[in-house]
A and B are shown apart, each in its own frame.
Chain A
């Protein structure tokens, strides 16, 4: 077991940290307030190769791997959840999924353009009545000649209003439950697609979230992911194993961002004649925040390392990392707010924004309860979590 990140990943981490500090941090509060999508930041990240770590060079990536992806995600998330979302929209849920499951023609056509952000991507899974229960999706894609006709509606879709390409899940055979689900690569500018913003969110406002409607949208048969019907559920579970790693890394990042803020404040804020860091109850709070975040980080890195070693479907370890890191982010947010007191509650410091951002990690990419279900049903012998 090697706990050393190595020269490459350390250099990349430093570069990502500098980018986040210099490019994102100075304007994030304002952009969040104005609900302004930071498209220029996302594009710049694409050009610099932020989205290509787990993608081979042939398809426009750097082949640096999943651990590098996790480390870079963490650095961006320390400063902004909105910018962090790009790692799933451009890499894990789109480019990586198409690379992992697509045909050679699909890989060549889409992967490098998503990695470079020439195309913005989105992932269309959730529907108004299909959240944790993904199997209850209603969206259908019925084959007619050499095309599919897509009908239905999706909600809570990150980048819905700005995406060029979507990975869309729909039933090609609605009478077969999970086995009737397929995945499609959809040109989001096609006729019959409309989108609009979802209800106003608690945070992550510099990243658009919306609903998408498909009304008799024609999708060429060659855009059926992998070229085989009925594989949608397998692809979805495989892809979630990757997007959940990214979510765990994001949660570790926001927790670390909150710790950095709390430490700086505890050193500066003076009460009763001392910096508040001198008080044992503040020390206790900080120590707990730091230890839990480090444990979450190690679980996340292990999960990434397993994938780098070829164990892609490590659902058990992914679920544990995702569940724990996302819960830790919320607890750390709570602790940071306690340390900053009224200043933490004020918009003058980034803590209140990061607090709001932390809360989403317990919900996105599979809720905490779903993760716990996967872990417990595996232990009880009801359903094996890992497929290979």
Chain B
């Protein structure tokens, strides 16, 4: 089975982020980056499928040259080859989906697995847009995946229980946190990753216009929290809720 997976380069979610003084974005100097953790789960799942039934795993990323690092992470884990679609500046979810449509048409995978969302902007749009453009079945937020011939059975954690879906392949699956626990690449795996093929192409080669349809107008910090206070009794609490917090 041929599986296409994605590896977005995101700002390290464990770092404290700061909004730029002019509100135009996030302060990126001194920021460290890593692979989107949900994409890492998607890659792990694809490699497990390959280990069970053979095939090929292709890792794609859209971004600057630096995003090769995230592709190499996927290759070190066990994926076979990488594709970097090189872009400068921001690319919105719709453009990402349209680039992926072209990659899918070119590579003809049996399955696309990607993180349910990227942890930088948390948009959670690309898998759904991609399925829409391709007219393929989608099963998002997968917490369990089973491939049976030309169908995939996917369990999703929904409010109050587990929902089980079955989709025809080729199809789109987005990975949730509990789908698996990604492996660490081995040290020899990291070495071998460097020798695996990694092609760089441009959106223009794919005939995709990536001019953003959605433009971020500004960033601002949430209002600073004020300290709480201890009230003497319930009547005072009710009064404060009513008069100060406007709760009712």
Chain A residues close to B by CB (< 8 Å): 7-8, 11-12, 15, 18-19, 47-50, 52-53, 57, 62, 64, 68, 72
Contact = CB atoms under 8 A, between A and B. Distances in A.
B184 A48 contact: yes
B191 A64 contact: yes
A32 to B, nearest CB: 23
A8 B185 contact: no
Nearest to B193: A11
Interface residues of B, number: 14
B184 A62 contact: no
A62 B191 CA distance: 8
Given A11-B72, A11-B76, A47 B191 contact: no
A11 B75 CA distance: 12
A25 to B, nearest CB: 13
A49 B188 contact: yes
Interface string B180-202: 00001111111101100000000
Contacts of A64: 187, 191
Contacts of A57: 188
Contact of A62 (B69, B76, B187): B187
A57 B189 CA distance: 12
Contacts of B190: 8, 11-12, 15
A309 B113 CA distance: 44
Contacts of A68: 187
A273 to B, nearest CB: 16
Contacts of A48: 184, 186-187
Nearest to A7: B194
B72 A52 contact: no
B188 A62 contact: yes
A194 to B, nearest CB: 36
Which 3 pairs, one residue from A and one from B, show the smallest C-beta to C-beta distance? A49-B187, A49-B186, A62-B188
Contacts of B186: 47-49
A15 B184 contact: yes
Contacts of B76: 11, 15
A19 B184 CA distance: 8
A64 B72 CA distance: 17
Nearest to B76: A11
Contacts of B193: 11
A52 B194 contact: no
